Structure 1
Amino acid sequence: MLTAIREPIKTKTGPAFTALFLLLMLVTAAAMFSACTPSPKSWQLSGPTMGTSYHITVVDVPAGLTRTALQQLVDGELQQVNQEMSTYIDDSELMRFNRGPVGEAVPVSAHLAQVVELSKDIYRRSDGAFDVTVGPLVNLWGFGPQPEPERVPDDAAIAALQQQLGSDALTIERNPDRLARSRPVQIDLSAIAKGHGVDRVARLLEKQGIANYLVEIGGELRTLGRNPKGQEWRIGIESPDSAGRMVQKPISVSGKSVATSGDYRNYYEREGVRYAHSIDPRTGRPLQHRLASVTVIADTCAEADGLATALNVLGADAGLKLAERENLAVFMLVKTDEGFQERYSDAFKPYLERSE
Structure 2
Amino acid sequence: MKPERKAELHRIFPGESIMHTLKISALCFCLFLIWGCTEEKTESANPQPPVTTRPEASMTMDFRGGSLKVTDRASSIFDAGITLPVNALYSAETIEIRPTPLPAPLPAGKKAAGPAVAFSPGGLNFKAPAVLTLPYGEKTADGSRIHDYQVHARYFNPDKRKWESMPLKSRDIENKTISFESSHFSVYIASVETPDTDFPAYPQKLTQGEYFVHPPEFRLENGEHVLIEKGRINRPGIQAGTPFHLYVRFYEKALLALVDQQASVNTKAGHRAVFTEDGTGVILDTFPVFEKIRASGDARLWRWEAVFVAELTRLVNYKTVDEQNPYVQPFPENQRLYAQIEAINEREILISWNFDLPMEMESEIYKQNPRDQTLCIAFEATFLGFPEGE
TM-score by length of 2: 0.23
Structure (1 or 2) with the larger CA radius of gyration? 2
* Larger relative strand fraction: 2
* Larger relative helix fraction: 1
Greater relative contact order, per chain length (Cα 8 Å cut-off, separation 6+)? 1
TM-score by length of 1: 0.25
